[in-house]
Structure formats: C-alpha cells, structure tokens
C-alpha cells in the first residue's frame, strides 16, 4: 500500500483579479500558507500557464514547475475541464458553452471543437514535460439532452452517440498514451460520462483504452443517489485522480434529484464545504488506501454557503486528517511463529 498524496487544491475556484489570487506565484504562496502541498492547475487561465508553450518548450515547463516547487508545492495535475467539455457539445448547448472558448471560436461549433481537441493534445505533452502522470478533464456530451427517456429515444441513438464520442476522443487518448499520461474523466452530470454505466459504454467504444481513466468525485454521486463507496470497488483500477468535495441530498415532498430549476442554495442536492455535507470521507480514504491508490487528494471547493477562503483553510486540515499513513507491517506480527515449507506441511498434516 501507498499513502495518498496531499493535501492538494484545485486553483480554478480561487483565481481572481485581486492579490494573492491573481498570479500563479502569489496563489501558490497563499495555498502553501494554508497547509497545502500540491496544486491542480486550470490550463484555460493564462495567469497560471501558457498551455501551448508548456507543450512545446521543456524549458518553459521546467521554469513553471520550478516556480511551484519554490513555493513549497508540487503540481498534482493539469486540468482541461472547460476544453474537454467542448470536445463534444450538442447544438442545444452551443450558446451556453461558447464562453468556455476564446472569443474567436465562439459561434463556430466545428472550429471550436478542433480548438478543444488541440488543447487536449497540448495538455498531454505539457503534462509529460512537467513530469505528471495523470490529467483531469470532462468528456463533453452529445446525448445529455436525452438523459431522461422522454420523448422516447429511438433505437440505436445511444450507441451512435457513444461511437461518435469515442471517435472524437480516441486520437486524444492515443496522444496521452504516447506521452505516458492517464486521462482522468470527472464523472459528472452534464457529461455523457456521468455514472458507471455510461463510463462502461464509453470504455467499450474505445476498446478499453488504457488511458481512459477516472477522476473520482463523490459529491456528484451523492446528488445522483449513487453508491459512491461501491463505485470504488468497481472502478478502483481506473481511478487515477481524486477531487475531495462534499455534498448533501435532502429530498422533500416538493423536490428531489432534479431540483425544480432552483438555485444551488434552495436545491435538495447541494455542494458543501468539506465536513459540512453527508459524504463519508473516512470510508472513502480507507477504500482508496486499501486499493493502493497512488495519486493525490485534491480539494475542489464548491459551496453555496461558506466563503471560499474559509473552505480552503478548513479543507487543508480536513484532507490532512483523513489521509491514512499506511502501514508496512501486520498488526499481529508480534505473535508470528515464523514459517517454512516443512513447518507448513506439518501444520496441514501432509
């Protein structure tokens, strides 16, 4: 077994126009001051990284890594959540997702997709240059508008959708394979990969590609009423990244999973700061340790109540206290009698 690395923090929710959140060095110093030892970097934010340059210049990548290291931190993973979303977008969502791309690609679905695919390929090479072995992203979605089967889905629609999604991702997965980096899909509502079944459909279409791995975030499973502990039993061999995020689900006689179009504060399912929700993190950290998870535990802070700086401060301590320093010995070794083949045969009476 190996002790989980952490605590890390995903910087996306904290970046802003005011110091210390407006450039990579100052936000890293802030994170280190809270007790974090790793940062997950959003690649769409130029204040953190020039993704193309990191892909094409090992010198630049080394300088970026050195800046983070000088702050007493490591880079846990790069993230292309926004670009990954744009690999596959149904036209019904074009306008809503246009803001995820630079202005020159907005309103141009095909060109925007090509831009997103290139971004992912650069992320593969940038990750390699930075010495990383995992990458966080979204899958995008062509089928999400049909997630509830009304109107009735025509026969073959789902199969066609997943074939197309796989066709778009296979060249990206192959590029990551060439770079020795795992693609960790965050299983998330709004993505075609939103639960175990949909992930398995995708795996089948990409011929169980070895780089088609998982980012585990239990908060999204709480809101789907999915067993997030058994999920680890099913998919632990593919889990290569971990967002530590809390949530709660409190259904009433008026609302359930769908939430009645309400804002986050009024929904039955809500994201919460660590320790304020219903996720059983003791069990999660135990299972990940049991299955020898070798990656990072990274705070992704999202909460509809608490101030982000309070959530970040509490999150570092929370993760640190939940990481299990794994043992290299068995607790009853003191009672061992030693062993050899002759002795074992004697015990068995053979």
Residue 331 predicted with pLDDT over 80: no
Q: What residue ranges define each of the domains in the chain, with the CATH number in brackets?
A: 5-348 (3.20.20.150)
The tokens describing 20, both together, are 């210390």
The tokens describing 184, both together, are 């960790």
Percent of the chain with pLDDT over 90: 93
Write out pLDDT tens, residues 93-125: 999 999 999 999 999 999 999 999 999 999 999
Write out pLDDT tens, residues 304-330: 999 999 999 999 999 999 999 998 877
Write out pLDDT tens, residues 235-250: 999 999 999 999 999 9
The tokens describing 319, both together, are 């993760």
Q: What angle do CA 292, 294, 299 make, to 5 degrees?
A: 115
Strands 134-137 and 182-186: parallel
Residue 347 binned pLDDT confidence (cut-offs 50, 70, 90)? confident
Residue 334 binned pLDDT confidence (cut-offs 50, 70, 90)? low
pLDDT score of 172: 98
3-state secondary structure the chain: CCCCEEEEEECCCCCCCCCCCCCHHHHHHHHHHHCCCEEEEECCCCCCCCHHHHHHCHHHHHHHHHHHHHCCCEEEEEEEHHHHHCCCECHHHHHHHHHHCCHHHCCCHHHHHHHHHHHHHHHHHHHHHCCCCEEEECCCECCHHHCCCCCCCCCCHHHHHHHHHHHHHHHHHHHHHHHCCEEEEECCCCCCCCCHHHHHHHHHHCCCCCCEEEEECCHHHHCCCCCHHHHHHHHCCCEEEEEECEEEECCCCCCCCCHHHCCHHHCCEEEECCCCCCCCHHHHHHHHHHCCCCCEEEECCCCCCCCHHHHHHHHHHHHHHHCCCCCCCCCCHHHCCCCCHHHHHHHHCC
Cβ neighbours of residue 335 closer than 8 Å, sequence gap 6 or more: none
pLDDT score of 335: 62
pLDDT score of 332: 64
pLDDT score of 340: 87
Write out pLDDT tens, residues 257-270: 999 999 999 999 99
Write out pLDDT tens, residues 175-234: 999 999 999 999 999 999 999 999 999 999 999 999 999 999 999 999 999 999 999 999
**pTM of the full structure:** 0.95
Residue 193: phi, psi to the nearest 5? -95, 90
3-state secondary structure 193-206: CCCHHHHHHHHHHC
Write out pLDDT tens, residues 273-299: 999 999 999 999 999 999 999 999 999
Determine the Cα–Cα distance for residues 16 and 23; give it in Å rounded to an integer.
Answer: 9
Residue 333 binned pLDDT confidence (cut-offs 50, 70, 90)? low
């Amino acid at each position: 077994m190996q002790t989980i690395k952490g605590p890390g923090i995903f910087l996306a929710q904290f970046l802003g126009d005011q110091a210390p959140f407006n450039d990579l060095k100052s936000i890293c110093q802030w994170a280190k001051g809270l007790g974090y030892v790793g940062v997950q970097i959003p690649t769409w934010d130029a204040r953190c990284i020039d993704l193309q340059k990191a892909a094409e210049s090992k010198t630049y990548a080394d300088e970026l890594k050195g800046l983070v290291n000088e702050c007493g931190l490591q880079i846990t993973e790069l993230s292309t959540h926004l670009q990954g979303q744009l690999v596959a977008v149904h036209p019904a969502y074009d306008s809503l997702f246009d803001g995820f791309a630079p202005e020159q690609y907005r309103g141009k679905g095909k060109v925007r997709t090509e831009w997103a695919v290139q971004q992912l390929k650069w992320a593969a090479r940038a990750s390699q240059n930075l010495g990383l072995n995992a990458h966080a992203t979204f899958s995008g979605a062509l089928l999400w508008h049909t997630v509830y089967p009304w109107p009735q889905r025509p026969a073959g629609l789902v199969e066609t959708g997943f074939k197309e999604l796989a066709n778009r991702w296979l060249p990206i997965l192959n590029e990551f394979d060439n770079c020795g980096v795992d693609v960790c899909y965050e299983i998330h509502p709004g993505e075609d990969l939103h639960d175990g079944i949909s992930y398995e459909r995708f795996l089948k279409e990409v011929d169980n590609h070895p780089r088609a791995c998982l980012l585990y975030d239990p908060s999204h499973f709480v809101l789907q009423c999915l067993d997030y502990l058994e999920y680890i039993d099913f998919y632990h061999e593919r889990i290569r990244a971990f967002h530590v995020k809390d949530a709660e689900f409190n259904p009433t006689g008026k609302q359930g999973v769908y939430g009645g179009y309400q804002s986050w504060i009024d929904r039955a399912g809500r994201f919460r700061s660590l320790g304020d929700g219903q996720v059983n993190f003791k069990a999660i950290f135990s299972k990940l340790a049991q299955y020898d998870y070798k990656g990072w535990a990274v705070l992704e802070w999202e909460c509809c109540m608490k101030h982000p700086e309070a959530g970040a401060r509490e999150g570092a301590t929370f993760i640190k206290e939940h990481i299990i320093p794994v043992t290299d010995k068995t607790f009853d070794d003191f009672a061992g009698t030693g062993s050899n083949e002759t002795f074992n045969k004697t015990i068995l009476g053979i």
